[in-house]
A = this chain, B = another copy of it.
Amino acid sequence: MSILVVGSVAFDDVTSPSGSVKNILGGAATYFSLAASYFTQVRVVAVVGEDFGPEQENVFRQHNIDTRGIERAKGKTFRWGGSYTDNLNEAKTNFTDLNVFETFHPQIPKAYEDSEFLFLANIQPTLQANVRRNMSGVRLTGCDTMNFWIKDFREELLATIRDWDFLLINDGEARMLSGESNLRKAASAILDMGPHTLVIKRGEYGAMLFRRDAFFIVPGYLLDSVFDPTGAGDCFAGGFIGYLAGQGFDLEGGHIHRGDLSRAVIYGSVMGSFCCERFGVERFRTLKRAEIDARFEEFRKFTSF
């Protein structure tokens, strides 16, 4: 089944304890689609500027990602600069130049309208709502958001969140959205807002999945060295939604088995871990599906008792 992802494509400057890079391809939609592309067909809706050329386009093409929904606008592509010190869980933002992203109004190509899965990456909640409304045929909607929208666009966000099936956010965002510091209580409050499934991403500490009737927790993968955690959360989402879409289970029945959801969390964790092994999207140039499945088995080995 195919996934439509709507979000940012960007150029990033990143500094981490492993070094510094400038002008590398980034953005939530980029990371998401690369990770998901290992499992199923992915279509991207985003906006880029005149500085986005064949080199960047090829990164998507080499993963068979449909880029017809990437709009070319006059001006420059969204740019972000961030740095990490020893605490690799938290980026310090050095600059954010929205550029063409400032007036982004997602347009869905006709050819994308039959997408079964929709992933709305971290964009303004009313834009998320508009896309969701125009994609009435989708079977499952997964979304991300961030502190800025939770704090200053709360009403718009709460109005939109009602229609989402999956919400994937980090622990700080879950606490802010729910007003609860205890994650079990936070999860319960968020499930009351609409989504039937909440995934809380915890960086190096792993991830949790909550539904009304069950929860699942996995620790993070232990990397020998973390080059650059930028995009790891988006890659998690890509692995998670990608695996579910790739399974092609009976969506008519409306039921996803707990086992599939748990395995989706593991594939999300696997993709997030690979993302951190190089700067930017570099790791995806060589990553093979067999490596993904081998790391999935590693997870089984170091967590089973």
Binding site for B on A (CB under 8 A): 86, 181-185, 202, 205-206, 208, 214-219, 222-226, 259, 262-263, 265-266, 300, 302-305
Chain B residues lying within 8 Å of A185, measured Cβ to Cβ, are 224-225
Q: Is the CB of B219 within 8 A of A205?
A: yes
Write out the residue numbers on chain B whose beta carbons fall within 8 Å of the beta carbon of A216: 302-303, 305
Partner of A305, one of B86, B182, B184, B263: B263
Q: A208-B222, A304-B304 are in contact. List 9 more A-B contacts (CB 8 A).
A: A182-B224, A205-B205, A205-B219, A215-B302, A216-B305, A217-B302, A218-B303, A219-B219, A265-B305
Most chain B Cβ neighbours within 10 Å, of A181, A303, A305: A305
- Chain B residues contacting A224 (CB-CB under 8 Å) are 182, 184-185
Partner pick for A222 among B184, B218, B265, B304, CB 8 A cutoff: B184
Q: Quick check: A217 and B182 within 8 Å, CB to CB?
A: no
What residues of B have a CB within 8 angstroms of the CB of A265 in the complex? Answer: 305
A302 to B219, CA, bound (A): 12
Question: Does the CB pair B304–A225 fall under 8 Å?
Answer: no
Question: Taking each of A182, A205, A206, which has the highest tally of chain B beta carbons within 10 Å of its own beta carbon?
Answer: A182
**In the complex the two chains form, is A222's CB within 8 Å of B215's CB?**
yes
Do the beta carbons of B302 and A181 come within 8 Å of each other? no
Q: List 29 A-B contacts (CB under 8 A).
A: A182-B223, A182-B226, A184-B222, A184-B223, A184-B224, A185-B224, A202-B205, A205-B205, A205-B206, A206-B219, A208-B219, A208-B222, A214-B302, A215-B222, A215-B302, A216-B303, A216-B305, A217-B219, A217-B222, A217-B302, A218-B219, A218-B303, A219-B219, A262-B305, A263-B305, A265-B305, A266-B305, A300-B305, A303-B303
Docked CA distance A259–B202 (Å): 27
What B residues does A302 contact at CB under 8 A?
A: 214-217
How far is the CB of A115 from the nearest CB of chain B, in Å? 27
> How far does the Cβ of A26 sit from chain B's closest Cβ, in whole Å?
24
- Does the CB pair A222–B181 fall under 8 Å? no
Kindly provide the distance from the CB of A16 to the nearest chain B CB, expressed in whole angstroms. 12
For the complex, what is the distance from the CA of A205 to the CA of B200, rounded to whole Å? 13
In whole angstroms, how far apart are the Cα atoms of A202 and B217 in the complex? 15
